[in-house]
Amino acid sequence: MDAQQLKLEAARAALPFVKQGAVLGVGSGSTVNAFISLLPTLPFKITAAVAASTASEALLKAQGIAIVDLNSIESIGVYVDGADEIGPSLALIKGGGAALTREKIIAQASEQFVCIADASKVVKVLGKFPLPVEVIPMARMQVMRALATFGGTPVWREGVVTDNGNILLDVRGMMITEAREMESALNQIPGVVTNGLFALRAADVAYVASSEGIRELRP
């Protein structure tokens, strides 16, 4: 099975979570694109969705699905999103596609967070994938110095501006064993909008595709 087929298989496993008449939370990235491409196979039409990126919004709108403002609803039933790394207790690293802040907001608003990925994303210790951190532009150098005290090497993702108008730093060389504590601590640095650790609001279930089939992971 090639990489695209694995993404499709993981995405297919999330379809039973999509409920008729409910607002759907949709993340961002190539696995989520595969998930969006499968939505027309459902026996009903999704009326409304909240999306984590303008790219996902465009794909959903192209299917005639209305995009709703999170401020106009109280909660989301199910949120489906990919990950850059899936660690112990389904804590994640996300943000490789630059959409981490909106993704974290939607995950927090959702009753169920379903993560979809291919098996290469599953790790024993988080941090091999450089940890994305969204930063207010004027604080870039100050935040880089602060991040270095946590033991990693922050690198500016030059040329990338998030959907929120901010910049991204990718912190390389981290071994994140206490993900919840690290997530909280990094968010205390003035100028950090948020970081790509999803441990305080981890996934509730993950569907991981490999050539052997689909594995369901629970915390």
Q: Which residues have a catalytic role annotated?
A: 103
Contacting range for ligand 5RP; rule: CB under 6 A; set: 23-31, 54-62, 142-150, 202-210: 23-31
Give the number of other Cβ atoms within 10 Å of residue 69's Cβ. Answer: 7
| Distances, alpha carbon 108 to alpha carbons 112, 113, 118, 179, 188, in Å | 9, 9, 23, 17, 18
Q: How far apart are the first and last CA of the chain?
A: 27
Residues 28-47 that bind ligand 5RP (CB under 6 A): 28-31
Which tokens go with 98?
């630059």
Nearest to 30 by CA among 46, 6, 13: 6
Under rule CB under 6 A, residue 27 binds ligand 5RP: yes
Cα 195 to Cα 185: distance, rounded to the nearest angstrom: 10
Q: b/e string for 143-155 if b means 16 or more Cβ within 10 A? A: bbebbeeeebebe
Q: In the bound complex, what is the minimum distance in angstroms from residue 96's beta carbon to ligand 5RP?
A: 3
Q: In the bound complex, what is the minimum distance in angstroms from residue 81's beta carbon to ligand 5RP?
A: 5
- Of 25 and 27, which has the nearer Cβ to ligand 5RP? 27
Binding track, positions 97-136, relative to ligand 5RP; x by CB under 6 A: xxxx--x---------------------------------
Contacting range for ligand 5RP; rule: CB under 6 A; set: 39-47, 58-66, 92-100, 149-157: 92-100
- Contact with ligand 5RP (CB under 6 A): which of 87, 95, 152, 154? 95
Under rule CB under 6 A, residue 94 binds ligand 5RP: yes
Find the farthest-apart pair of alpha carbons in the chain and give their distance in angstroms, rounded. Answer: 52
Contacting range for ligand 5RP; rule: CB under 6 A; set: 11-19, 63-71, 89-97, 178-186: 89-97
Under rule CB under 6 A, residue 204 binds ligand 5RP: no
**Do 176 and 152 meet the contact criterion of CB atoms below 8 Å apart?**
no
Q: Are strands 92-93 and 48-51 parallel, antiparallel or unpaired?
A: unpaired
Residues that bind ligand 5RP in the complex, under the rule CB under 6 A: 27-31, 81-84, 94-100, 103
